[in-house]
Structure 1
């Protein structure tokens, strides 16, 4: 591919990010070495923020409360009420203990959420899964990249940009021509027509250590992939 949209009538949806920053991310500077290393691997990480810390703290409180439930049931002795306390406490210990372990692991492991190398686009496995569980989409199988926008202004989740690596020309054409509200299907796994795109849809988090513009630029340094920006059209 030559990195441009072959249809001149749709040039307003294809962007050449090697020439200019057209993704509209002016709130963060594009760190040229944010995730690049000597081996040519570009990694995007989610910065450790207060959200992760508060999540771990909340799970720790719930875990301790569950321990208290279980121990309180044991202290009260035999009885239906005591058994309920023990069962609920034990379930909470397992559930919140596992959540706390995962939350602490994510804070300390700092695994990337997205990587590029010479082989392709890689989605690293989330901790505590082994690193070998990562998935890779070869560059030859990437038909295009699409930037789309999900959410409603003022709603609880707000508006969030997504970068989707489209593995087939059919999905690339859909991204170019579909009505904007329908593009959300590219990020959903339960829509058969677009299910192949969902594993390669990345939500652009506020804590990413690289801007969307820099991520697109790094991808196109490895392969000249057409970029379809449908966030506003």
Structure 2
């Protein structure tokens, strides 16, 4: 089974056993959604989905948690689903938001809607804390020289930060482009259009400093 089909199956299993929470006080089901490309092995992914189908939600939770901690976007999305619906672990909307945002930054498309649903359930203090946790994980990835974290942190400043910080988004896209990461140059050039001309030189110098630190052995 492909990851594409497995996520759909997982969502169907969750909905059939207990509808997903869609706002703070009521529960309702939603149509299956399709994520972007996945990184888990088929064996691991299908084991987690099989656990959901068999209603062994704790096992599924632990499987997806392990891979989510390793920054696998598809596992982060599934972990967010479990935390939102309270399967395998008590409902935790703030942590579900953290994982759904990380999945979104990893280009799992349905994570965008999931994150928006969760934002509607939380007060600003919790949202701010969730943002901080996301940024902390991304900065940890940068410190560990994780190339995938470079594009994610650029997207963070563009998509997740309370007010989009296009200067920081441009800076990190510039770093990613220098690393020849796919799609980075195009994203950098698009971000450039939203940056104040007076800030460009400083941002480019910052990007050079960040790049040098990243590639330093």
TM-score, normalization: structure 2? 0.28
Give the structure with higher Rg (CA).
Answer: 1
Structure with higher helix content: 2
Q: Which has the higher strand share?
A: 1
